[in-house]
Amino acid sequence: MNEKTRELIRNYVVENIDTFHLERIKRLRNLKLNNVLKNKNPYLFRCKNLNLAADLMTAVLDARLSSSEEGSFGSFLEHLAIYVSEITGGGFKSAAEGIDIELVRGKTRYLVAVKSGKNWGNSTQYATLKRNFRRAIQVIHQARPREQVQPTLGICYGNFRTKHTGDYLHIGGQSFWHLISGDRNLYIDLIEPLGYKAEDHDAIFRQEKDNTYNRLIREFANEYCDPSGAIDWAKLVGFVSGNMS
């Protein structure tokens, strides 16, 4: 990969990573107490002896933030992969349902569904992926019957070996970035621009996080603690699971 292309990728990361950080803050500000609590397991909290409102809410919010950040950053990586394939190897955003990238390597057309991490879906989602691959291949072969097509599940990080499942090629980490870019070292080169202004972004995020946690802990204490300050477990369980009133 030439330096001009590397610079384009670095600029893309720097310009778009701000969106990820802004979305983190936006999600914090929009958190509502009952929306955070409604799908949580109060029995588990009681079993773990989480009797301080601050401890319980911190556990709930930490889990919520971790999950949402994984999803948001995963989306960023997937869009980055599409961009990389476009400027390095003639790839393009596929119009086929469930397929992110189409690119040609040698005599093979790769249909790539991009996922950020290896544990991205359940059995239903895997079945849908295979169905999407079959449909995309059928459409291609209607126009070009002899074209060699390789359905591919591309994972942005992970050191597992490339394998063929019988339905698609399963590739990840260094091998994935190499496939879409032709550069064996791109997977390492990406790490530097991702740190652009990371310290500044983190300082802002931490302040917003502290404010949000304080706000929701106060609301929880007002709503789900009795006059003595103890958590009203019956009221909390009633909110989460009550459905016969």
- Provide the pLDDT for residue 102: 95
Residues 6+ apart with CB under 8 A from 99: 111, 112, 113, 132, 133, 136
Q: Rounded distance, CA 20 to CA 76, Å?
A: 7
Instruction: Tell which residue, 150, 174, 148, has the closest CA to residue 160.
Output: 174
Report pTM.
0.81
Residue 14: pLDDT band by 50, 70, 90 thresholds? confident
The topology (CATH level 3) of 90-181 is type ii restriction endonuclease, domain 2 (3.40.1560)
- Model confidence over 55-87: pLDDT tens digits? 999 999 998 888 888 888 888 888 999 999 999
Q: Tell me which architecture the domain covering 1-89+197-245 has in CATH.
A: Orthogonal Bundle (1.10)
Q: Within its chain, how far is the Cα of 48 from the centroid?
A: 29
SS3 45: helix
Q: Distance from CA of residue 210 to its chain's centroid?
A: 24
The whole-number pLDDT of residue 119 equals: 87
Instruction: Kindly list the domain boundaries of the chain, sorted by start residue.
Output: 1-89+197-245, 90-181
Binned at pLDDT 50, 70 and 90, residue 197 comes out as confident
